[in-house]
Structures are given as structure tokens and as C-alpha cells.
Chain A
Amino acid sequence: MRTDAEPETAHQEVALPAGATEPPRQWGRKLPAVGFGLGAVALGASVPFAGGGPRFYGSYLVAWLFAVSIALGGLFFVLLHHGARAGWSTVVRRLAEHLAATMPLLAVLAVPLALGLEELYPWARPEAAQDELLAAKSAWLDPGFFLARAAAVLGIWSLLAWWFRRRSLAQDASGDPAISRRLKALAAPGLIVFGLTLTVAAFDWIMSLDPHWYSTIFGVYFFAGSVVAVFSTLILLALAARSAVGEVVTAEHFHDLGKLLFAFVVFWAYIAFSQFMLIWYGNIPEETLWYAHRTGPGWEGVTVALAAGHFVLPFFFLLSRAVKRRAATLVAGAVWMLAMHYLDLYWLVMPNLDPHGAHPHALDLTTLVAVVGFGAGAFGLLARRRALVPVRDPRLAESLSFENV
């Protein structure tokens, strides 16, 4: 309908404040030390509990999934940006590249989970051989094959994240538009690989916690939650980055991030409701048991809190244009959505280990701090000595000057 603000001609002279073009000296300087330090302490505090059954592994899995889903969302953001040839998001893309590139560290952090396979997954235990249903899928749910798939999936994500970040950083130096063309060509098959690997990961790591249960939409569900998480994280990072790059990140960018966060909150609710309603309607015990655990007296409150907090409240909150354009209010919403995303993962994982009720434990906090601490430390290392904005991306000018309706 209306004309967007266009780059005036192909010759572009854009004045970026010094903080944007130079790698930030002070910004996030302490992040690696603080992140790794906190992470190590928290991990140390958690490990003594490792021997006491599935509680440690459950908490750790939730925390790890939380971090991985954000990194995964970052990878999706980068792939989509290149594949769709988006302009407006150029300003925040570097932050997403760093997020995605924490994947190798997160892969290493998966090792405790590999050690606790039997604690977490019923199919990994010796008694699974007697279960007829598990025997039927033992070709897939075999510990060796499972670990190989996990390694492959994490490896593919790490490679994609690393490659896209590396080429983007190379463009900082050369300004070569051919890099953008190449990344666009790679993004489309990248997205296909992304979709397939994410589905395998969701089926393997979360769905098989209850190996009798299945849902074809589960991969999409995990994807929706991850995208909500990454937009929330990008909003926080964009605000943090403003202290270094100044008004390069404008109200327009927050507005767009807010709109996308809103859209994916609604998308998440659509997927979550579809899954629930279809299983409820068909009323087949094999499928409904999973929900019965979550709507029984122990977990009912969490389910209601999730529906209200992950959808109803943010729907009305993020509807407002004013909320989306002001960093302070949008950031509050983003923090809330991250908390809700954690709750979502908690709700997916824990009822399989403790069907009788939600019993929060200090471990939940320490494992979360551990994984997020290490992840943040890695992010700090990745962001250090690099420009916070892709300074010579040919579409940067478009990103800086665009205006919302």
C-alpha cells in the first residue's frame, strides 16, 4: 500500500556512530568471565545431586533445552534473513549469529545428558526389552543410534551457524556483496536441513521421554517455542547493544521484533491448541495419557499458568503499538516470554519424570544458571573484538532508514 523509505540511490553513505563500526571495547567485556564463572559455580553446586536419580538429569535437560532452543532460534533467524533477503533485520542479525554460534559449546554441555540416558529415557533401560511397543521401535530408540543422531544434529547446527557467522564477519572487512548472494543461495537448503534436524531433535530429546506417546506436530511445536525464545532474546540483546551502538537500533526495529514476537506467540498457541484439541477429541488413551498427566491434580496449575502466561497475557500486552515501540515495555514482555518458554520446556519434560506434581527444586535454578552462564560466556567471547552490527552489509542502509506503518 504505501511506499517504504527506500535507499535514495545505489550509492550509500551512512553515518554509523563509532560504537557500531568498531568492535565494542567496553560492551560485554566482563561477560565471558562472569558467565563462565557463574556457570562453573552453579554446575559445581549441582553435580553432587547427579547420583540421586533422574531429578538432576531432568533439571539439566530442561536448562540445556532452554539454551539450545535459543541458539537454534538464532540459527533460524539468520537462515531466514538470508533466504528471504530481508533488509530491516540486518541491524540485529549479528547478535543472532553470535547466539547460533554458541552451539558447539552447548553440544559439549550435552555430555552429562549422554551419561544420564538411562535415568531420563525409559527406552534406554534394560527392562524396555519386555515392552512390546518399545520393542517395535527399538531400531530407532537405540542408545547408540540415538547418540549418533544427537551428535550429527548438533554437528550440523554448529557447522551452519559457524559458516554463516564466518562469512558475515568476512563481509565486515571486504563489503563484498557476493557474500550476501552466496549466503542467500545456501540459506534455502539450510532451512530444509534445519527443519528436518530440528524435528529429529524434538522427537528424540523430548518426545521420547514418554516413548509410548507420539504427535506428528511435535517438531513444529518445539520450533514455535524456540522462535518465541529467540525473538525475546534478541529484544534484550538489542537493548543491551544500544549502549554501544546508540540509536542504530531504533524504535522501528523494536516494533518489528515486537510484531514478530507477537505473531509467534499466537503461532505457538495455535500449534499447542491444535495438538491438545485433536488428542482430546479423539480420546484415544494411548495419546491422552500424556495430557492426563498434565491436567491431573499435580500439574493442572502449571498447565493453566502456561496457557494464561504464554498466550493470553502476552497476546493483549503485545497487541499495543505503543508497547512494542518503547524499549522498556517491550523488554519487560521479552523477559516474561523467556520465563514462559522455560515453563513450557519444564512442562514438557518434568511430568514424564514426576507425574504426580510439580516439585520445584534448587537444582532447577542451579542447572539453569550453569547452562545459561556458560552460554552467555560463550556469547561474550564470540561478540568480543567484533562489530555488533554487520557494518558493510549492503542492506544495512535499508535497515537503518526503514519506517514502520
Chain B
Amino acid sequence: MSGERKLWGLLAEFTSPARLAEACRGVRDAGYSRWDAHTPFPVHGLEAAMGLRRSPVGWFVLGLGLAGAAGGMLLQWWTATTAYPLVISGKPLFSWPAFVPVMFECGVLGGAAGAVLGFLLLARLPQPFHPLFSSERFERFSDDRFFISIEAADPRFDRAATAELLDRLGAQHVEAVETGGAAAAAA
């Protein structure tokens, strides 16, 4: 094994979403900040259990959506009145009713791009390499198991105490995850 192996954090496994939610409340109340829950599907109410704030993806959508619509209208206005003016069936050069469909579609495109970009940025994806992928048990997060990971970098982290807390909160299995080494890639 080349490369230094450092403790990245602890990984606790749970068997049901209800137990996970309860455990999350426990971890939140114990004052941890650098931790996360991992589930095969989004579990209802986990934001509250983890004490998280609402996602700001909406602002990306609104901003890029309005920009898209404005851009679409600007493009049509400019091409129709300045760049390449043509009189078509007697309609005015700035035929705004005829420009609404494309403006609308451009707005939707902008909004959709905003949603995807906002998600990728906020979720910090793509991130193909992560210490958690070195754990074999962790593979089941995408199948039927639920996990809590607490990073060693968290100020309240103490290897023994944190492990004991997770155990107390109902974890079926707790393991240490190490960073560095060859095995930490997802693909």
C-alpha cells in the first residue's frame, strides 16, 4: 500500500429510514457539523432531522430563466429590426406577439440549465473520487442500506466517543474510513 492512510471519518450503517432519521437527530443534537447521511432514495423529513437549510437552487433557475427569456427577446428584436429587417406579410418589424413563443422557450431553457447547473454546483458534482468509496459496505447505500458518515475533521470528532455515539443511536455496524491509498475511487 503506497500513500499515507489517514482516518477520514466513521461510517455507520442503519437498516431502515426511520432508524436513520432518529439517529440523524441524535447526531445533530450532539453538535456535529461535518457529517452527512447517505440513502438510496431521499428520505422524507431528513432535512429537519439534520438541521439543514433549504436549497437555493431556485435562485439559479429564476436568474438564468429570466436571462434566457430576455436574451431570446433581445435576439429576435435585434435581428428583426436592425440586423436583417424584412417586412413579412405586412407585419411590423418588431412583431412582439410573434416573438413570444421563442422568448418563452429560451426562458425555459435558461431555467432548466439553471436547475442542472445549480444542482451540480451546490452538490459539488462530478466528484468521482471520495474516501467513502473505499468502503465495501458503503456500496449498499444505493441498494437498501442507510448510512451516516462523520468526518474526522469535525471539531467534535473523537474516534472512540463518536463511534460510541453512533452505536448508541442504533447503528448496525460502524467502520472507520481511511483516505489515501489506491482504493478510494468510485469508478
Enumerate chain A interface residues (CB-CB to B < 8 A): 1-5, 273, 276-277, 280-281, 283, 319
**Does A281 contact B42, Cβ atoms closer than 8 Å?**
no
User: Would B100 and A273 count as touching, CB distance under 8 A?
Assistant: yes
* Interface set, chain B 17-38, CB cutoff 8 A to A: none
Q: Is the CB of A280 within 8 A of B44?
A: no
Cα distance, A2 to B41, chains bound together (Å) = 8
The smallest beta-carbon distance between B116 and chain A, in angstroms, is: 16
Shortest CB distance A19–B (Å): 30
Q: Are A276 and B97 in contact (CB under 8 A)?
A: yes
**Which chain B residues lie closer than 8 Å to A5 at the CB level?**
44
Q: A2-B43, A3-B44 are in contact. List 15 more A-B contacts (CB 8 A).
A: A1-B41, A1-B42, A2-B42, A2-B44, A4-B44, A5-B44, A273-B100, A276-B97, A277-B97, A277-B98, A277-B100, A280-B97, A283-B89, A283-B90, A319-B62
Q: List 20 A-B contacts (CB under 8 A).
A: A1-B41, A1-B42, A2-B42, A2-B43, A2-B44, A3-B44, A4-B44, A5-B44, A273-B97, A273-B100, A276-B97, A277-B97, A277-B98, A277-B100, A280-B97, A281-B97, A281-B98, A283-B89, A283-B90, A319-B62
Task: Compute how far the CA of A276 lies from the CA of B97 in the bound complex, rounded to whole angstroms.
Answer: 8
Cα(A276)–Cα(B100), bound, Å: 12
Q: How many CB-defined contacts (below 8 Å) exist between A and B?
A: 20
Residues of B within 8 A of A280 (CB): 97
| Bound: A310/B41 CA distance, A | 40
Instruction: Closest A residue to B54 by CB, please name it.
Output: A321
Residue numbers of B with Cβ under 8 A of A are: 41-44, 62, 89-90, 97-98, 100
Closest to B66 in A: A316
The 10 A-B residue pairs with the shortest CB-CB distance in the complex, in nearest-first order: A277-B97, A2-B44, A3-B44, A280-B97, A2-B42, A1-B42, A273-B100, A281-B98, A276-B97, A277-B100
The residues of A that contact B89 with a CB separation of less than 8 Å are: 283
Closest to A5 in B: B44
| Alpha-carbon distance A5/B44, docked complex (angstroms) | 9
Chain B residues with Cβ under 8 A from A281's Cβ?
Answer: 97-98
Instruction: Give the CA-CA distance A133 to B42 in the complex, in Å.
Output: 63
CA distance A135 to B102 in the complex (A): 42
Question: A211–B44 Cα gap in the complex (Å)?
Answer: 56
Residues from chain A with Cβ under 8 Å of B42 in the complex? 1-2
The chain B residue sitting closest to A276, CB to CB, is B97
Which residues on A sit within 8 Å (CB–CB) of B62? 319
| Residues on the B chain within 8 Å of A277, using CB | 97-98, 100
Query: What residues of chain B lie closer than 8 Å to A319, measured between beta carbons?
Result: 62
Which residues of the other chain, B, contact A4 by a CB distance below 8 angstroms?
44
| Interchain nearest-CB distance for A268 vs B (Å) | 15
A188 to B44, CA, bound (A): 33
Cα distance A281–B62 in the bound complex, in angstroms: 30
Q: How far is the CA of A277 from the CA of B43 in the complex (A)?
A: 46
Q: Which residues of A contact B98 (CB under 8 A)?
A: 277, 281
- Docked complex Cα distance between A292 and B165 (Å): 75
- Enumerate chain B residues within 8 angstroms of A273, measured Cβ to Cβ: 97, 100
> What is the CA–CA distance of A369 and B44 in the complex, to the nearest angstrom?
48
Alpha-carbon gap, A276 to B89, bound state (A): 18
Task: Please report the C-alpha to C-alpha distance between residue A2 and residue B42 in the assembled complex, in whole angstroms.
Answer: 6
Q: Min CB distance, B48 to chain A, in Å? A: 11
Q: Which residues from A are CB-within-8-Å of B90?
A: 283
